[in-house]
Amino acid sequence: MTHSVSNSSIPNVVVASVDQMREAIRRKGHLKGRQVDALSLQEVRALIGEAPHRRDVLIEHLHKLNDTYRCLHDRHLVALANEMKLPMAEVFEVATFYHHFEVVRGDEAVPGLTVRVCEGLSCELAGAKQLIDKLPALLGSPDVRVIAAPCVGRCEQAPVAVVHQNPVPHATPELVAATVSAKQTHQAMTEHVDFEAYVADGGYRLLADLHTGKADAEQVLNAMEDSGLRGLGGAGFPAGRKWRIVREQPAPRLMAVNIDEGEPGTFKDRTYLERDPHRFLEGMLVAAHVVGIDAIYIYLRDEYHGCRALLTQALAHLRANPPCPLPHIELRRGAGAYICGEESAMIESIEGKRGEPRMRPPYIAQVGLFGRPTLEHNFETLYWVRDIVQKGADWFSGFGRHGRKGLRSFSVSGRVKQPGVKLAPAGITIQELIDEYCGGMLYGHALYAYLPGGASGGILPARMNDIPLDFDTLQPYGCFIGSAAVIVLSQYDSARDAALNMMNFFAHESCGQCTPCRVGTAKAAQLMQAKVWDNATLEDLNQVMTDASICGLGQAAPNPVRCVQQYFPEEIV
């Protein structure tokens, strides 16, 4: 049986309330969602200037707000979305993706100062946990917040704290407290080869000769190929071949330079940049000239505040005294996301988006930044261009040991007397590296294990101290060299603890785009805390992450786990 319902059966109160709502909407004329207030709009415009604004500078604008207010107030995000003609949801999802942005709702209190203590493996070995435990009581102010942070790229100075934007190397509670009291929150630039000194030593002559025709682009390409130089960000793709591939693509072509070295244990790019920024810039511009690049975007990790000031100054000097017409160059700032070291995630970030890796194909060389063919390079790869071309390909390939060719910049940290960046022959063994370049092990310490390629490069025992360290030599042992970040462990350390530190890092830094990585890293970290490892379940997770993750983070995350299972079984039973 059915019943009809007439309007008269609807309670008058409901009809009245609906009519009132409709009238209120007509009377107020308000749009859905939170509206912009005049003060917030004024504050945003004071920082970013008047419209229009390009979509790709969203993250740069978020940095301006975050630097000024030490957070991102939601009212400012609403105003920014309005000013950039973007959906509020889009601005919000970008702002909440990056670790260095803190979105604050309403009148929520914001600490006046944040102290980040690195919890990377090298800093953990040097006492970072104890530092984190002691600092809150010592600083004793609700206006100062102490938090743990992933690797900040200063492993040779472990433990490291960062007071706002100022790193405190070899940090003690007293040193950090003194830095906070002095209100020293910005890092000073380091001593380096400046523009005048670089030019006096023949700098930018190669670039000028290419422009005038005294040097030939094809000869430069041949030198790059003959040298055997491979990408030094970790992937190891032959640099000369990459130049040719991108050169063959239709114009306009772009370049993206990766200085987002977030791999725990890696600090070589920062070290070279702090010493000689113009050597890198000339290599970058030579590559741009040879390949035919119209615009260059340099992506620098946010933890390197001093490097950003240095690069800004170096670019200003170069533009004021150009050796030839320069392409368009923009320096872009990361925001605390390890995943943006992956080339396609970096490109997404340069475009002002969440740093999520892209599916391939198409490849970056064909469809990259802003949909154009893109030459993507690591900082150090470009750093060696001038030397290789001017000194000859044989100069670079003439180095090497144990059947390998070339030079490698090893970032060495951990239980050695002299940590730091060690420029050594490719193919050197860990024992040779420690004995000849690092002054040996710390007093009372003996080599127990080592990580040859940072967090994702695996862990090997001391008995395997004679393996050549280079591309393609470590894969048979379940490891790889990556960016040549070497972390040395002694008999006082634990391989399983090191693997857990790495997995916690991966879980923290997973972008969350794909389920195998997002869930797998977190679940693996949980299982690895057990006294006895459930190896069968861990291997199931490892296999799924390796096979089904979109990018290298999830694919390489199982490496430390598998190495502990294979080489250190006594630690997990």
- Per-residue pLDDT tens over the stretch 95-104: 999 999 999 9
Which pLDDT value is given to residue 21? 53
Confidence class of residue 9 from pLDDT cuts 50, 70 and 90?
very low
pLDDT of 310-351, one tens digit each? 999 999 999 999 999 999 999 999 999 999 999 999 999 999
Mean pLDDT of 383-402: 96
Whether the pLDDT of residue 22 is over 90: the answer is no
Distance CA 235, CA 471 (A): 9
Mean pLDDT of 277-301: 98
Mean pLDDT of 125-140: 94
pLDDT of 354-364, one tens digit each? 999 999 999 99
Distance CA 450, CA 453 (A): 9
Whether the pLDDT of residue 109 is over 80: the answer is yes
Confidence class of residue 11 from pLDDT cuts 50, 70 and 90?
very low
Whether the pLDDT of residue 558 is over 90: the answer is yes
Q: Are 346 and 358 in contact (CB under 8 A)?
A: no
Show the tokens assigned to 78: 């609403």
Confidence class of residue 1 from pLDDT cuts 50, 70 and 90?
very low
3-state secondary structure 364-406: CCCCCHHHCCEEEEEHHHHHCHHHHHHHCHHHHHCCCCCCCCC
Q: What distances in angstroms separate CA 208 from CA 279, 453, 555, one per listed residue?
A: 14, 37, 43
Which pLDDT value is given to residue 83? 96
Confidence class of residue 23 from pLDDT cuts 50, 70 and 90?
low
Which pLDDT value is given to residue 34? 79
Which pLDDT value is given to residue 128? 97
Show the tokens assigned to 29: 């004329």
Whether the pLDDT of residue 87 is over 70: the answer is yes
- The amino acid sitting at 362 is P
Which pLDDT value is given to residue 544? 97
Edge-to-edge strand ranges of the sheet holding 253-259? 328-333, 293-300, 253-259, 374-378
Say what the pTM is: 0.93
- Maximum average pLDDT range among 86-90, 108-112, 180-184: 86-90
Confidence class of residue 112 from pLDDT cuts 50, 70 and 90?
confident
Distance CA 497, CA 559 (A): 14
Produce one character per residue of 381-393: b if its CB has 16 or more CB atoms within 10 Å, e if not. bbbbbbebbeeeb
Q: Are 487 and 265 in contact (CB under 8 A)?
A: yes
